[in-house]
Structure 1
Amino acid sequence: MKRKYKIAMVQMDTQNNKEKNLEDACAWIDEAAASGAELVCFPEVMNLIGKNTGPGGGREPIPGYSTGRLMEKAAEHGIYIHGGSITEEIPGEKRACNTSVLIGPDGRILAKYQKLHTFDITLADGRPFRESDRIRPGDAVVTAETELGCFGMSICYDVRFPELYRLLAIKGARVLFVPVSFTKETGEEHLEMLLRARAVENGCYVIAAAQTGVKPAYTAYGNSMLIDPWGKVLVRAGSETGVFYGEIDLDHADAVRRRMPSLESRRTDVYQVEEKRK
């Protein structure tokens, strides 16, 4: 296992031309690979936001139009690519899945994760926003063992559910993917504290590649971040698009867990929870 390596987070302003979005993504992969990155990470809905005006359609199978491009680039450069997420077509299902893939240096998909938690809220003006009307939630906690360590998979709104990340850490994850497309309002108030909490409580690195820019329904916050297991923000973007670099050091992660052994100190004998019914 490689103990120390360079990563790249790609901050995107994804819009409604899938082909243009993927061309930009591939150019950033080339740049990151040339800079020595061994892992390139993308944000949530990296390939399309809005109704597609170019080739490639809307929702798609996996492997498919978008993941196929990422798989080719991973094999071309011999690197790992975390594909943020795309909208996955599910045969026989009206709803799609918000799905993330991890691709290995040989171009094969190593892991596939479907977002567990759908963003169903009532907005400040009283209007409902129900992601579950169009996105079917997944049903599996997903980790991936690789030469770069064990990765834990999640997407955006998942970050508000700490039990998911504890399960990922228990399953061996040392690096947590949290591709996001936070709104400017919630991002300013919550994103950093949530990401740092998930890092600290689990002794893990957190990689959060983000969307930025004005979308059809909201303005994305940007601020892609790499956070270490002690909760230190190692890398933070602003609102600009581009590639942002950082380093994963698994020896540092081990040292943090020895210093703060919260995973070992869990009281599983008393964690039986009986939830209140409404």
Structure 2
Amino acid sequence: MRAALLQITSSDSPSENLEMLQGMIAEAVADGAGFVLTPEVSNCVSLSRAHQQEVLHHEEDDPSLAALRDTAAQHGIWLSLGSFGVKTHDADRRFANRQFLISPDGEIKARYDKIHMFDVEVTPEETFRESDGYRPGSKAVVAQTPFGALGLTICYDLRFPRLHRALAKAGAEILIAPAAFSPVTGAAHWHALLQARAIETGCYVLAAAQTGRHKTRRGGVRTTYGHSLVVAPWGEILSDAGTDTGITYVDLDREKVAEARRRVPSLTHDREFDGP
């Protein structure tokens, strides 16, 4: 399977982002991709909760989601929407940060709501309280496809190895890690964390990323790290997209997963222990 990772700079306009995604998906398909992956919050990057309330939708009413399901069916591809911000029916009106895996017939094969919320103060200028606007998910998800079992994660989940190990032990061969990573934490930790998750699990890790300075009409400026990454099951970086927008391709080979796990079968070596 040839996979294509889209590295984009989403604005806070879902309609603008939809047009961009559809054009890039068509380009990826023309170059032979049968599986296309987008980053976190592909539909809207915004720091304004008021703006999000105006432009986001519930899943069942989301015109961008419906259009991209049609796009996947039109091209006959698997499509990972790394995440969309979607409205929920929660009383506190918080959103869900939700990943969608769409099959070649346009159906939603799997959904995953981001479990770990990015509530951090990296620097006085780099402070985030994701849980103020988004409610965390509670269910880990592995989705079966003809080219491998996919373990679904989103961005900050990357720092929690227990989730990735659980996905791998449940059969995942490819970990999906879409992100809108901070430039500060990205420069310090992005590559190391992605390689560690691959090495620990013997999985491919496919991390499509947002990049650059995002155009927002309200709520301040958002900048993201880029460097969409493909990491092989043995831990080597197969591709690094740098900071420009564009498409990164990789040919997935399930035998590489089996080979890495034969060489170091650590997924079968868990032991119970006491303490600390």
Taking structure 1 as the reference length, what is the TM-score of the superposition?
0.91
For 2:265 and 2:108, locate their aligned partners in 1 and report how far apart those are by CA, in whole Å. Answer: 33
Is the contact between residue 13 and residue 55 of structure 2 (CA under 8 Å) also seen in structure 1?
no
Match of 2:77 among 76, 79, 95: 79
Match of 2:259 among 248, 255, 260: 255
1:223-264 deviation line (CA, Å, top 9, x unaligned): 001100011111110111111111111011101110111101
Match of 1:38 among 26, 30, 34: 34
1:62-86 deviation line (CA, Å, top 9, x unaligned): 2422211211111001110000111
Matches within 5 A, 1:94-133: 94-125=93-124, 129-133=128-132
Counterpart for residue 186 of structure 2: 187
Alignment root-mean-square deviation, CA = 1.9
Change (3 A) 1:218 1:273: farther
Match of 2:2 among 3, 6, 16: 6
For 2:236 and 2:9, locate their aligned partners in 1 and report how far apart those are by CA, in whole Å. Answer: 26
Corresponding letter in the other structure for 1:207: L
1:99-130 deviation line (CA, Å, top 9, x unaligned): 00000011000000000000112342298531
Q: 2:59 is paired with a residue of what secondary structure?
A: coil
Q: Point out where structure 1 has 5 or more consecutive residues left out of the alignment.
A: none
Counterpart for residue 170 of structure 2: 171
Corresponding letter in the other structure for 2:29: A
Change (3 A) 1:24 1:273: farther
Match of 2:55 among 53, 58, 64: 58
Q: How far did residue 190 of structure 1 move?
A: 0.3
Identity across the alignment (%): 41
Q: How far did residue 20 of structure 1 move?
A: 1.2
Is the contact between residue 12 and residue 44 of structure 2 (CA under 8 Å) also seen in structure 1?
yes
Counterpart for residue 239 of structure 1: 243
Counterpart for residue 22 of structure 2: 26
Q: 1:263 is paired with a residue of what secondary structure?
A: helix
For 1:28 and 1:96, locate their aligned partners in 2 and report how far apart those are by CA, in whole Å. Answer: 27
Corresponding letter in the other structure for 1:136: R
Q: How far did residue 265 of structure 1 move?
A: 1.3
Counterpart for residue 214 of structure 1: 213
Question: Quick check: which one's helix share is greater?
Answer: 2
Task: Say whether 1:226 aligns with 2:224.
Answer: no
Question: Segments of 4+ in structure 1 off by > 6 A?
Answer: none
Counterpart for residue 15 of structure 1: 11
Counterpart for residue 155 of structure 2: 156
Taking structure 2 as the reference length, what is the TM-score of the superposition?
0.92
For 1:31 and 1:133, locate their aligned partners in 2 and report how far apart those are by CA, in whole Å. Answer: 37
